[in-house]
Amino acid sequence: MTLRLGDEAPNFKAMTTEGEIDFHEWGGDSWVVFFSHPADFTPVCTTEIGRAANLSDEFKKRNAKRIVLSVDPIEDHHEWVKDVEETQNAKMDYPIIADEDREIANMYDMIHPKADDTATVRSVFVIDPDKKIRLTLTYPPAIGRNFDEILRVIDALQLSDDYDIATPVDWTKGEKVVVKPSIDTETAKEQFGDVEELRPYLRLTPDPSTK
């Protein structure tokens, strides 16, 4: 199944390390970061699980929940959590989905045969409170994710939803943003105040959330 930006994230029921969930009900009115791992007890995955746990406060600031999938059994997940907490100095506060039959992995196209016939690659889905997929990232199995980038993207998505702006290259919260081409300069000045016109099509304005 090919999922595209703007599609509704498929719903499912699954057993997790925090009990059985209905995915849409569990997400509620929060943003969701849903990511997958090739297998339990693997080194790169362990560092990622721990990093996402240690960033708990940052995700909460953004009203974002985390949930992770692996195709191993729930018993292995519980044992793996112990290793994550011990080796990464982390406290797990989000669930790991057990997907032994790979039903969810296939639903979200997380298995790429050219990388591995059975294990999930490192997929990331950022899903908004309306259950729409807003971002997808796919890393090869050997490459660890950058959670700072995932947080940055959530900031940009939330800001663009609130203020109808775009964000330039390498943007981080508080930096100047881009006025969309669909908004003329006079309207932009009325809407945002200060507008810096580098070219008629390239205009910057201060981050409106900081005013």
Closest C-alpha among 168, 125, 98, 109 to residue 5: 125
Residue 66 is inside which H or E element, if any?
strand 64-70
CA distance 96 to 182: 42
CA distances from 146 to 28, 52, 90, 194 (A): 25, 10, 17, 33
Provide the 3-class DSSP secondary structure of residue 107.
helix
Is 45 marked active-site? yes
From 33, 45, 49, 154, active-site residue: 45
* Catalytic machinery residues: 45
